[in-house]
Structure 1
Amino acid sequence: MKNLARLKPFGAIGAIILLVSLVLFLHLINPKEEEVMIDWNEYQVKHHSDEPESGDSESKTSLMVDVKGSIRSPGVYELEVGSRIFDAIEIAGGFSSDANELNINLAQLLHDEMLIYVPAEGEEEVLELASSAVEERDGKISINDATAVELEQLPGIGPSKAAAIITYREEHGPFKGIDDLVQVSGIGPKSIEKLQEFLIFR
């Protein structure tokens, strides 16, 4: 009995050591997760800096055109990209009573810095564009801006082929190169050989 009494303190100490060892072991195999701190100010600055500036996108959504001649309110107007000549005429108040509308292609797409001139009845020129379809250099014609009258100046192009070119242009968009003309009814490889030195594409 005396021996048992002497062993009791050692048993208690052993139990404490065992308990501490168990706690340390559990702590080692399950380390406390580190806290992750987010600097929200830095995040917001970086986030906003990645956004495109509004000015860049706005500059690509509008264009400026100059409308002159027999128009109720001639002037420079801002329109959306994708607008057509009839939109420019409308925003300028419409045709005046003496306007000659005969050969004006109201469905033609506008481009920036374009000048639209509407002649009066009796004027020889029906429509002139500032970005004029007929180029001063070399007398070449812009296939994507030319009117029917201007297209008929080209070799081998009469009224029917001029109308076919304009129809294709309105239905499929601007010509990108000389090879696109093959898609126009009545125009073949031989016609293209004659035309290529007189045309520009833009």
Structure 2
Amino acid sequence: MYSLWEKLEKREKASLVGVYAASLALVWTLGYGWGRSSSASSPMQVAGVSPQSSVEVIDLSQPPKPEAVPTEPTAPTEPTPSAEVVVHVSGAVKRAGVYRLAPDSRVADAIEQAGGATQNADLDALNLAEPIQDGQKIHVPRKGEVSAPAVASVAPSRSPRSAPQAAAAATPQFPINLNTATAEQLEAIPGIGPVLAQRIIEYRQTHGRFQSVDELLEVRGIGPKRLENMRPYVVVK
């Protein structure tokens, strides 16, 4: 049996060979062009990533930066009150002087700070529960001690001779100066009569000016107890 190729004429065979050669050339051209386009594409284009895209590079060798936490504005601080107050304790206490105490202290606390009251102290004359204040003076009176009397007002007299007597009879304003006090002024001190007032003046005239209130102990008739009763009413200047 003859094959189909052998049955074809020369002209037909030449046409088929031409068509076959043109097909091979076309296939080779298409394969060559596809290979060049594939090799020219970058790995980023193949992956679908544009080469112009920005990529953030993270350095794993450095510790991560802490995120900033917004801080709330702090309220202005109020000034703290003073931690202590200063008071002066005097009178019938064991250690009279200036002391520092807590701001919420009472009069009783100040007296206790001064060593406590003496046996002749008149604590009923004070309000021991009263709150103290900075700069306050707390005087503990003695039993029988009276407050300094106010200056008595003297009505004007029509007689010119009675004017000096009225001025002398006026109660002095305490405390009085031992070095300038008159007998009438000394007699106005509770517990001091004319005799003792005259002795004080005579002592001053004989020994000179008083150097301290404690020097009254040198006057005959004045002992420690009487001196303590006189102390709030006299000074030495």
TM-score interval, normalised by the smaller of the two chains: 0.3 to 0.5
Over alpha carbons, which structure has the higher Rg?
Answer: 2
TM-score (norm. length: structure 2): 0.38
